[in-house]
């Protein structure tokens, strides 16, 4: 039932056809009924009139002949009655049957009995009300009755009766019964034809509607199918346009739109390809001279003891700035890969706890320089994740370095929590913190928390934006919390399997140690 | 004296590499075109090849395949692009190691070269066995039923590292430090690609390895034949 309903809602053609059929059914039914009732009334009227004329003359004739038999003997009168019956009735009991019944009026108490019926007709065929009507009326009385034969068969009929008097026997009622089998057969035939014609018309209308609707719906269906292909990225197909009607206009408009879309997308794709190519070329072109520069600067730097102090310091600065330049180049390339959506995730299985510990150890010296330390707290000894270890390491280094930069000589707490399908790493520092306005900018490119604050070890200002992109590439999330003077809390949540999505937040962003 | 063939089309970088390597006591043969590399290699076989990926004439990866087809000499690829596609292509073509330009420090380059050239495991004498293979460490040979299997020096080192401690499960990081001499690199692609190459040479069925067995989530270990 549900599927029929949904099919109905889903198909314009079906909807139109069904409504057309329902409406035309109603119209045809109304017209058919009217026609049927007109025909029935007409036929019955004609039949009735001829029956009345016949009955009237027959009954009159019978009365006349009985009057002539006045004074005759009983057997003679009986013969007249039989003659009347014989001349008025037919022998068959079917379509054209005409029967006669003589009944003694209820008030008649004379002993002689001329009650008789033709052809085994049951006198019960005359209902009481008709008999009453005949006795009271001055003229003939008419009623539709069922003609019953002794032996079982019943046929519909018309009974017309009047009073007659039989000599020496008092008042009798004489009825003529006309079979209506013929008339009813005709009427049934007409009804059947009407019904058949109606059904045929409905079917025809349904078929015509279907043909018409198909002409409209087919292009619409084609358009929607092609639009679906567009969504899937296939821009090759077009609508067939053969005529010059409104549908063709739709088709042409659709095709023009497709053409324009295809061009735009091709242009954008090309632009993106050119951009990507450019970035790749810049990368290659810059890296080779940078390699030469670095090697040269290191060679110079390694013999700086032999230089005078100014040249020696210059060599040192050159090396340091080349470092910074290289990092900047790498970060820019990484960002452009994210922008071009060509960053690829190379997932391997590794132990996240071990990685966190190693990153913390690597930053030991940097932390010491800043008089702070990284303390790792993990509720699990190890947790194996399926992720891109290079990217996860980069996220961790970025948020750890960021914490060291802002820790204000207070120790930094790193917590690791593993859940059913996710893992989370929280980095809590108790340093300068962040206010609400900087909190929303913290992942922006080249954003600088405090312009007067220098960046440690030449961070590029792209670290946190790259970390966020890295986290999202894993279907994970990197979030920041902070209050001025109360420190900051960065929480990285990753799915254990990079193909999955995170379903929980294992570490609350607002740290438990903080109360508003 | 050690000879390193440097194949790079950038004249300045080649010269600089020459200066650095010569300073470290290594002889250098400079080649600037890919299609000339193989000829120079044949005429004057070096102890190691430093090979740039992007080369005029013939692509570095192709050069790597050609050299590998006739020699087990250590090859280090130089790539100007950090993306893994280049790197994996180079490793699959038979390179032992790779370095992404720009290198951190000249000493890093020299260290990598020395790692690839050092005679490893000189303390082990006699035969090691792993699976149905016998390893003659001193003779640098791997034998199966008396027949020698040709391995590059790096593949040999990898196999020996596993065979030396049959019970131990090596993490990829441990192998990187043991075989490649990295203190801590996170680039496990090196290990993965070389394990695949090694398996292709020594396993009966590389799809179902029995000699170098993967320990899921951890790394690799020497397999015990007949027990898997």
**CATH number assigned to the domain comprising residue A319:** 1.10.287
Domain residues for A301?
A: 248-339
- pLDDT more than 90, % of chain A: 16
Contact between A298 and B106 using a beta-carbon 8 Å cutoff = yes
pLDDT in tens, A360-379: 998 998 899 889 999 999 88
- What are the strands of the beta sheet with B3-7, ordered from one edge? B27-31, B3-7, B48-52, B75-79, B97-100
Taking the C-alpha atoms of residue A164 and residue A136, their distance in angstroms, rounded to an integer, is 13
B contact set with A (CB within 8 A): 10, 12-13, 16-17, 19-20, 23, 54, 80-84, 101-107, 109, 172, 184, 186-189, 192, 216-217
CATH number, domain containing residue A65: 3.30.450.20
pLDDT band at A399 (very low <50, low <70, confident <90, very high): very high
Q: Which of A187, A221, A240 is the last residue of a domain?
A: A187
Give the residue, A246 or A396, on which the prediction is more confident: A396
List, for residues B161-177, the tens digit of each pLDDT value: 888 888 888 888 888 88
CA dist., res. A189 & res. B215, Å (int): 89
Q: Which residue of A has its CA nearest to B54?
A: A284
**What pLDDT was estimated at residue B228?**
37
Average pLDDT value over all residues in chain A: 84
Mutate which of B50, B60, B76, B80 to test chain A, going by most A C-beta atoms within 10 A?
A: B80
User: A-chain residues within 8 Å CB-CB of B83?
Assistant: 344
> Which residues in chain A are contacts of B104 at CB distance < 8 A?
294
From-to residues of CATH 3.40.50.2300 in chain B? 3-117
The runs of H, that is alpha helices, within A389-480 are 389-406, 436-439, 463-473
Q: What residues does CATH 1.10.10.10 cover in chain B?
A: 127-222
Q: Which of A290, A317, A339 is the last residue of a domain?
A: A339
Q: What is the pLDDT of residues A185-226, one digit of tens each?
A: 888 888 899 889 988 988 898 888 888 888 877 777 888 888
Are A382 and A353 within 8 A, CB to CB?
yes
Contact B106 A290 (CB under 8 A): no
Phi (first) and psi of residue A248, to 5 degrees: -65, -35
Residues A360 and A330 grouped into a single domain: no
Tell which A residues from 278 to 297 touch B, by Cβ distance under 8 Å.
280, 283-284, 287-296
Tell me the C-alpha to C-alpha distance, in Å, between residue A9 and each of A2, A15, A171: 11, 7, 75
Same domain, residue pair A315 and A383: no
Beta bridge partners of residue A475, listed in sequence order:
none
Does some domain include residue A503? no
ipTM: 0.79
Query: Average pLDDT, stretch A293-314?
Result: 89
- Where does the pLDDT of residue B15 fall: very low under 50, low under 70, confident under 90, or very high at 90 and above? very high
Query: Do residues A157 and A61 share a domain?
Result: yes
Residues A59, A162: contact at Cβ < 8 Å?
A: yes
What are the DSSP calls for B108-162, one per residue? Answer: HHHHHHHHHHS---TT--SEEEETTEEEETTTTEEEETTEEE---HHHHHHHHHH
Average pLDDT estimate for B6-32: 92
CATH classification of the domain holding A397: 3.30.565.10
> Alpha-carbon distance B1 to B127, whole Å?
30
Intra-chain end-to-end CA distance of chain A, in Å = 58
- Poorest-confidence range of A286-295, A384-393, B90-99, B100-109? B100-109
CB interface of A with B, residues 295-354, below 8 Å: 295-296, 298-299, 326, 330, 333, 344, 346, 348-351
Q: Which residues of B touch A384 (CB under 8 A)?
A: 217
Looking at residue B227, what is its pLDDT? 41
pLDDT of B225? 61
Give the closest of B102, B184, B186 to A290, CB-based: B102
- Nearest Cα residue in chain A from B102: A291
CATH class of B3-117: alpha beta
Residues B168-225: tens digit of each pLDDT = 888 888 888 888 877 666 577 788 888 988 998 888 888 888 888 888 878 888 887 6
- Give me the pLDDT at residue A455, please: 55
Q: Which of A285-299, A307-321, A452-466 has the least mean pLDDT?
A: A452-466
Asked if B80's CB is within 8 angstroms of A283's CB, the reply is: yes
Whole-number pLDDT of residue A113:
75
Indicate the number of domains in chain A: 3
Nearest CA of chain B to the CA of A275: how many Å? 16
More confident residue, A492 or A243: A492
Please state the rounded mean pLDDT for residues A282-301: 86
Please list, in sequence order, all residues whose beta carbon lies within 8 angstroms of the beta carbon of residue B183, skipping any fewer than 6 positions away.
B177
Considering the domain architecture, whether residues A406 and A324 belong to the same structural domain is answered as no
Q: Look at residue A454 and tell me whether its pLDDT is greater than 60.
A: no
Give the C-alpha separation, A217 to A220, whole Å.
5
Q: What is the pLDDT of residues B76-131, one digit of tens each?
A: 998 877 666 777 888 888 898 888 888 777 888 888 888 888 766 666 777 888 88
Q: What is the pLDDT of residue A355?
A: 92
pLDDT recorded at residue A360: 92
Which residue in B137, B130, B146, B141 sits closest to B203, CA to CA? B130
Q: In this structure, are A52 and A154 located in the same domain?
A: yes
Q: Could you give the angle at the alpha carbon of A455 between the alpha carbons of A454 and A458, nearest 5°?
A: 130
Strands B27-31 and B3-7: parallel
Cα A54 to Cα A51: distance, rounded to the nearest angstrom: 5
pTM here is: 0.56
Q: Which residues of B touch A292 (CB under 8 A)?
A: 10, 12-13, 16
CB contact under 8 A, A299 and B106: yes
Which of A276, A283, A286, A287 best tests the B interface by mutation, with the highest count of B CBs <10 A?
Answer: A287
Q: Give domain B127-222's CATH architecture.
A: Orthogonal Bundle (1.10)
Q: Render pLDDT for A36-58 as a digit per residue (tens, 0 to 9).
A: 899 889 988 888 888 888 888 88
User: Does the distance separating the beta carbons of B20 and A299 come in below 8 Å?
Assistant: yes
Taking the mean position of all CA atoms in its chain, how far away is CA A62?
Answer: 80
Average pLDDT of the segment spanning A475-495: 91
How does A302-316 read in b/e, with b if 16+ C-beta sit within 10 Å? eebeeeeeeebeebe
DSSP letters spanning A295-361: HHHHHHHHTGGGS-HHHHHHHHHHHHHHHHHHHHHHHHHHHHHHHTT------EEEEHHHHHHHHHH
Q: Residue A133 has what pLDDT?
A: 83
Residues present in chain B in total:
228
């Amino acid at each position: 039932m549900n599927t029929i309903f949904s099919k109905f809602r889903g198909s314009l053609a079906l909807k139109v056809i069904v409504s057309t059929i329902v409406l035309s059914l109603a119209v045809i039914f109304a017209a058919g009924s009217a026609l049927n009732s007109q025909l029935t009334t007409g036929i019955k009227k004609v039949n009735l009139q001829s029956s009345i004329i016949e009955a009237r003359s027959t009954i009159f004739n019978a009365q006349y002949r009985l009057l002539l038999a006045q004074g005759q003997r009983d057997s003679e009168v009986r013969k007249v009655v039989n003659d009347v019956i014989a001349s008025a009735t037919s022998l068959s009991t079917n379509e054209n049957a005409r029967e006669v019944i003589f009944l003694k009026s209820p008030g008649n108490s004379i002993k002689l009995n001329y009650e008789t019926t033709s052809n085994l007709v049951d006198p019960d065929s005359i209902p009481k009300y008709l008999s009453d009507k005949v006795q009271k009326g001055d003229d003939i009385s008419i009623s539709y009755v069922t003609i019953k034969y002794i032996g079982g068969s019943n046929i519909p009929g018309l009974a017309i009766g009047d009073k007659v008097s039989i000599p020496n026997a008092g008042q009798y009622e004489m009825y003529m019964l006309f079979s209506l089998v013929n008339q009813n057969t005709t009427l049934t035939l007409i009804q059947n034809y009407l019904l058949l014609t109606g059904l045929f018309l409905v079917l025809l209308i349904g078929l015509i509607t279907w043909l018409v609707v198909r002409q409209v719906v087919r292009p619409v269906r084609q358009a929607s199918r092609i639009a679906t292909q567009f969504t899937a990225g296939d821009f090759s197909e077009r609508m067939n346009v053969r005529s010059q009607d409104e549908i063709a206009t739709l088709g042409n408009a659709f095709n023009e739109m497709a053409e324009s879309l295809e061009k735009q997308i091709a242009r954008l794709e090309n632009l993106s390809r050119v951009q990507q190519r450019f970035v790749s070329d810049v990368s290659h072109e810059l890296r080779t001279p940078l390699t030469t520069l670095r090697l040269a600067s290191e060679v110079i730097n390694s013999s700086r003891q032999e230089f005078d102090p100014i040249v020696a310091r210059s060599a040192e600065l050159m090396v340091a700035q080349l470092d910074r330049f290289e990092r900047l180049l790498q970060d820019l390339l990484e960002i452009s890969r994210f922008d071009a959506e060509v960053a690829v995730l190379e997932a391997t299985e590794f132990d996240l706890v071990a990685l966190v510990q190693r990153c913390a150890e690597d930053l030991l010296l940097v932390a010491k320089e800043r008089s702070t330390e990284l303390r790792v707290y993990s509720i699990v000894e190890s947790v194996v994740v399926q992720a891109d270890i290079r990217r996860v390491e980069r996220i961790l280094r970025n948020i750890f370095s960021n914490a060291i930069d802002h820790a204000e000589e207070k120790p930094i707490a790193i917590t690791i929590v593993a859940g059913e399908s996710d893992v989370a790493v929280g980095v809590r520092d108790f340093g300068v913190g962040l206010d609400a306005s900087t909190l929303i900018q913290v992942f922006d490119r080249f954003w600088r928390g405090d312009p007067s604050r220098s960046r440690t070890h030449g961070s590029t200002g792209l670290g946190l934006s790259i970390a966020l992109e890295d986290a999202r590439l894993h279907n994970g999330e990197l979030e920041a919390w902070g209050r001025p003077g109360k420190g900051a809390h960065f929480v990285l949540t990753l799915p254990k399997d990079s193909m999955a999505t995170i379903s929980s937040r294992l570490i609350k962003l607002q740290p438990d140690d903080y109360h508003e | 004296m050690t000879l390193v063939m440097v194949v790079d089309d950038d004249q300045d970088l080649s010269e600089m590499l020459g200066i650095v390597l010569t300073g470290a006591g290594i002889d250098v043969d400079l080649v600037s075109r890919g299609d000339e590399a193989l000829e120079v290699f044949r005429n004057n076989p070096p102890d190691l090849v430093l090979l740039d990926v992007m080369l005029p004439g013939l692509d570095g990866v192709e050069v790597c395949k050609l050299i590998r087809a006739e020699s087990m000499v250590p090859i280090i690829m130089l790539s100007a692009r950090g993306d893994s596609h280049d790197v994996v292509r180079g490793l699959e073509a038979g390179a032992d190691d790779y370095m992404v330009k720009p290198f951190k420090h000249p000493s890093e380059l020299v260290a990598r070269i020395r790692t690839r050239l050092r005679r490893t495991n000189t303390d082990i004498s006699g035969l090691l066995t792993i699976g149905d293979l016998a390893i003659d460490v001193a003779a640098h040979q791997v034998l199966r039923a008396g027949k020698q299997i040709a391995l590059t020096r790096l593949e040999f080192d990898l196999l020996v590292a596993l065979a030396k401690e049959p019970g131990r499960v090596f993490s990829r990081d441990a192998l990187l430090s043991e075989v490649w001499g990295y203190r801590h690199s996170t680039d496990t692609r090196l290990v993965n690609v070389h394990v695949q190459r090694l398996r292709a040479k020594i396993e009966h069925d590389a799809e179902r390895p029995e000699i170098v067995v993967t320990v899921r989530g951890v790394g690799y270990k020497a397999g015990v034949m007949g027990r898997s």
